[in-house]
Structure 1
Amino acid sequence: MPGDKSVSHRALILGGLAEGETVISGLLESEDVQATAAAVRALGPRVERFGPGRWRVIGAPWRSPDAPIECGNSGTAARLLMGAAAGFDLTATFVGDESLSRRPMGRVRRPLESMGVRFEGGDTLPLTMHGGGLRSIEHLNVPASAQVKSAVLLAGLGSDAPVTVIEPLPSRNHSEIMLRHFGAEVETDGRVTRLGAARKLEGRLVSVPGDPSAAAFAWAAAAIVPGSEVRTEGVLLNPLRSGFIMALQRMGADVRLDNVRGSQGETIGDVRVRFGPIFGAEFTPEEIPSMVDEIPILAVVAACARGETRIEGLDELRHKESDRLALMAEGLSACGVEARADGDALVVRGGPVRGGAAVRTEGDHRIAMAHLVLGLGAAEPVEVDEAEMIATSFPGFREAMRGIGAGIEELR
């Protein structure tokens, strides 16, 4: 499986903020992560590739770039880079592709403005920011967003003022873990996270674990295709990213974890999924943050399960690369599955899947990959109208799936 996307973004950014050299192995070389690498380089640090998945970052004070920072399709790149740049006396304009330019940036802009950052623009990209001179903040992270929390913490590295983030519901904690790995003092007390006095980062060795959001497509395929068994090694098993594994287990899937161990503050291990009977289940809003990126592929598993699955608390899916809630209901229905959006919930009644549809993706990589996996468990092939954008998160998707026996072909 490819390196984890969330960890890859953060390794490049923290390496650029650190003093000295950071060497990264296993970096995901997707379009999104490449955008972050180019952005960090444009802001002053030295960033270079010296082998497949192997990168070196030499930190330096960040400066105003010579051109707008191109974030491509990556909301993570845009929001985390804004936070990281906020602590420096610089001016930078952040831009993105058509999809990213429709996605809201107000949730990250508002807390950074509270810290003293000045912005030009509206609630979407392009945005121009003027950093430096930051003050204290106590931010209530609602709705739960690891990107906003990370932006606030990264901004706080450029100040000695108190920085606190309060989370009624937990979000991913990769930034906190990696900040500690780079030498920063980060205190977590229940749902409250604070930056301590030690905020100077030092270059480190970073080994990026396998991406569970990418592995989820192979796990799902094994769960729905008779006679299948898939094993993935060295995958990130952070409890705040393991929701999809727990969802499979609740639905009765044959899942086993082996060789679970710690690595640079994260938990990693090997995951084996084998075909077997699976059943519908209910999932509450509190469970969604730990599997928010895996909801499209969870819906595919639900389509092949016996009985009804209800997944609640999905409003966040309407603000991703597409309205994923609406598109999953539409795509599953086109393939003969009884599926509907019910407010902010997705309701799927599983059973034999007909397939045989051409599915609209609106350029969303996870919608495309989820429906291609659905085709593996359907009676008739499933087509997607676009596939090029899969490279934003999983450039080797087709080859990886073919490697485990999936029949995924490009239509000419």
Structure 2
Amino acid sequence: MSAHGPARKMTARTSLPLKGQADVPGDKSISHRALIFGAMAVGETRITGLLEGEDVLDTGRAMTAFGAEVVQHGPGEWSVHGVGVGGFAEPEDVIDCGNSGTGVRLIMGAMATSPITATFTGDASLRSRPMGRVTDPLALFGTQAVGREGGRLPMTLVGAAEPLPVDYVTPMASAQVKSAVLLAGLNAPGQTVVTEAAATRDHTERMLRGFGAEVVTEKTEAGYRITLTGQPELKPQTIAVPRDPSSAAFPVCAALIVPGSDVLVPNIGLNPTRAGLFTTLQEMGADLSFENPREEGGEPVADLRARYSPDMKGIEVPAERAPSMIDEYPVLSVVAANACGVTHMPGTHELRVKESDRIDAMAVGLRACGVEVEESEDSFTIHGLGAGNVPGGALTEARLDHRIAMSFLICGMAAKKPVTVDDAGPIATSFPIFEPLMTTLGASLSLANS
């Protein structure tokens, strides 16, 4: 069974050249934050380009449960009537965050310093993921958390009635942890400080400033120090969500490995804390160009063109780049399999605790497709076979993980034999139009017989 219904076994076959424009969905990270910050502002926030995948819709339902009014006006067009910082009402039922680690961790932070109680759950994948990385720092504010063994969902949080500001050093590179602490700090007096050794995606800091919060980021010897002044009145905003670079990765990477392809992906967010994949692909020799660079809603964007690149080479991906491309390693490993030589990806332990163990999932599936893969606890290495030389012909496991499912379907588009994914259902959590979009470009995708 998929997280949202019966399993949908899907097969990708060797594709004709992919051509045309790929209008990928809105950025998932920014969509989550737009709904949550809109709910914490006073007045009406208007959002265009919102990603309408299951993950984000679950966050919208959660904001409604906490007392905000969330209304859809048309495709991608939404409004949020917020209740203000500290204004969340106690929900009447369990908050189901589906498959979304981002959603549940940010929402926990947003309610952690209000004197209310909320219980959180999710699908089988989310219930297996560690929440202690968020609830431990939230406890410093005075929040109490009770969950299953290992700090897993279902979990009940009792918000701090008299929260204290926190000075917290993140033990891992995680924008979710940083964001949860900053969101909790909104309703605490004084200054809440988060220090991270390596810069992670900074959508939270950018958007908080846009809503009127005082957020200062400094580079120090210890890393990046983010200071938030608590108890602001957030002002409603009009937000145009750029298209998601993590979703763009799939048509872009497909174009690079399918002969004769030329694909344009317009209006892609190029926040430097998110663009590591594109830098890496260019270092491998990918034919990528950025057209019409501009800024929208405080975020850098451009139109990205990708063309077939048969001469890509394996490289050493810098470990310090991992936070800026952590969600893109699965599809990068598919590109690496189609490059010549060895691609080594260190510093990727965070992949072990995503929707699935993504290092193991990709290693097992790529081996089944005839690719040599080595893995350690915090790295994996792909021995590339060169353009068009991946054998394929395998049934691969999605493991309830949308990015694993899409990565193996991209693999099948350039492999010698078809590649089947046991369940493409989870793709709807982040990229609900993946199948029709890729088919329109020329990909051969079909539902397989069970």
1:322 equivalent to 2:356? Answer: yes
1:405 equivalent to 2:442? Answer: yes
Query: Which residue in the other structure is 1:35 paired with?
Result: 58
Equivalent residue in structure 1 for 2:49, among 26, 34, 41? 26
1:100 equivalent to 2:126? Answer: yes
1:348 equivalent to 2:400? Answer: no
SS of the residue corresponding to residue 104 of structure 1 reads coil
Query: Which residue in the other structure is 1:143 paired with?
Result: 172
Identical residues among aligned pairs (%): 49
Question: Letter of the aligned partner of 1:356 in structure 2?
Answer: G
Equivalent residue in structure 2 for 1:358, among 377, 384, 395? 395
Query: Which residue in the other structure is 1:158 paired with?
Result: 187
Distance 1:331 1:217 in 2: 17
Question: Letter of the aligned partner of 2:371 in structure 1?
Answer: V
Q: What is the TM-score with the length of structure 2 in the denominator? A: 0.90
What displacement does 1:335 show?
Answer: 0.5
SS of the residue corresponding to residue 188 of structure 2 reads coil
Say if 2:27 and 2:244, in contact at 8 Å, map to a contact too: yes
Q: 1:157 to 1:198 in 2, by over 3 A?
A: closer
Count of matched residue pairs: 412
SS of the residue corresponding to residue 208 of structure 2 reads helix
Equivalent residue in structure 2 for 1:179, among 208, 231, 253? 208
Distance 2:190 2:231 in 1: 12
Distance 1:241 1:20 in 2: 30
Say if 2:186 and 2:230, in contact at 8 Å, map to a contact too: no
Query: Which residue in the other structure is 1:389 paired with?
Result: 426
Q: Deviation digits for residues 292-319 of structure 1, max 9, x if unmatched?
A: 0000000000000011111111211111
Distance 1:57 1:247 in 2: 37
1:267 equivalent to 2:300? Answer: yes
Say if 1:63 and 1:89, in contact at 8 Å, map to a contact too: no
SS of the residue corresponding to residue 163 of structure 2 reads coil
Distance 1:263 1:246 in 2: 21
Distance 2:363 2:153 in 1: 29
Q: Which runs of 5+ in 1 are unaligned?
A: none
1:130 equivalent to 2:188? Answer: no
1:214 equivalent to 2:247? Answer: yes
Q: Deviation digits for residues 114-154 of structure 1, max 9, x if unmatched?
A: 11111222411111111131102111112011011111111
Say if 2:187 and 2:231, in contact at 8 Å, map to a contact too: no
Runs of at least 4 residues off by over 4 Å: none
SS of the residue corresponding to residue 194 of structure 1 reads strand
Which deviates more, 369-378 or 130-139?
130-139
Distance 1:247 1:296 in 2: 13
Q: Deviation digits for residues 86-137 of structure 1, max 9, x if unmatched?
A: 1221111111111101100001001000111112224111111111311021
Equivalent residue in structure 1 for 2:236, among 194, 203, 206? 203
1:4 equivalent to 2:27? Answer: yes
Distance 1:336 1:172 in 2: 34
Distance 2:230 2:175 in 1: 22
SS of the residue corresponding to residue 409 of structure 1 reads strand
Distance 2:281 2:147 in 1: 43
What displacement does 1:197 show?
Answer: 5.7
Q: Deviation digits for residues 327-364 of structure 1, max 9, x if unmatched?
A: 11111110011112133211111111000111112111
SS of the residue corresponding to residue 290 of structure 2 reads strand
Structure whose residues are more often strand by fraction: 2
Distance 1:239 1:307 in 2: 28
Which deviates more, 129-138 or 375-384?
129-138
Distance 1:53 1:264 in 2: 16
Distance 2:347 2:426 in 1: 26
Q: Deviation digits for residues 28-64 of structure 1, max 9, x if unmatched?
A: 0000001000000000010011100111100012111
What displacement does 1:198 show?
Answer: 6.8
Distance 1:171 1:342 in 2: 23
Q: Which has the higher contact order (CA 8 A, sep 6+)?
A: 2
Equivalent residue in structure 1 for 2:36, among 13, 29, 33? 13
Q: What is the TM-score with the length of structure 1 in the denominator? A: 0.98
Distance 1:343 1:13 in 2: 34
Say if 1:185 and 1:198, in contact at 8 Å, map to a contact too: no
Query: Which residue in the other structure is 1:249 paired with?
Result: 282
Say if 1:21 and 1:203, in contact at 8 Å, map to a contact too: yes
Query: Which residue in the other structure is 1:337 paired with?
Result: 371
Say if 2:186 and 2:229, in contact at 8 Å, map to a contact too: no
Distance 1:283 1:292 in 2: 12
